[in-house]
């Protein structure tokens, strides 16, 4: 699976970000992690997509999920045939 389908905007200090990445890892989902603190352009990209500054922001096939919301993550993965 291509990591272009799943992107997570994250920061090292964010516990919910780590929980979301661990959940995707557990499911065997490949993703691109983008650290909002490492590059202001990445932070702006996350804010442009979500309309807010909170993280994590998950972009699953174009569906945005704000925060670590397992039911929404599962639904988006299923909707885009990304479940393993």
Ordered structural domains, the chain, with CATH: 3-79 (3.40.30.10)
Rounded CA separation 17/26 (Å): 14
pLDDT band at residue 84 under the 50/70/90 scheme: low
Instruction: Name the pTM for this structure.
Output: 0.91
pLDDT of residue 2: 54
pLDDT digits (tens, 9 = 90+) for 4-31: 699 999 999 999 999 999 999 999 999 9
- At residue 37, the pLDDT reads 95
Counting beta carbons within 10 angstroms of the beta carbon of residue 64, is it exposed (0 to 12), middle (13 to 18) or buried (19 or more)?
middle
Phi, psi of 69 (to 5 degrees): -120, 95
> What pLDDT is recorded for position 63?
95
Does the pLDDT value for residue 1 go beyond 60?
Answer: no
């Amino acid at each position: 699976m291509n990591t272009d389908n799943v992107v997570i905007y994250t920061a090292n200090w964010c516990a919910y970000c780590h929980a979301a990445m661990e959940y995707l890892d557990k499911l065997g989902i490949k993703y691109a992690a983008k650290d909002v603190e490492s590059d202001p352009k990445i932070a702006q990209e996350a804010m442009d997509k979500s309309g807010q500054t909170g993280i994590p922001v998950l972009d699953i096939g174009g569906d945005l999920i704000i925060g670590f919301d397992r039911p929404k993550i599962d639904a988006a993965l299923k909707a885009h045939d990304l479940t393993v």
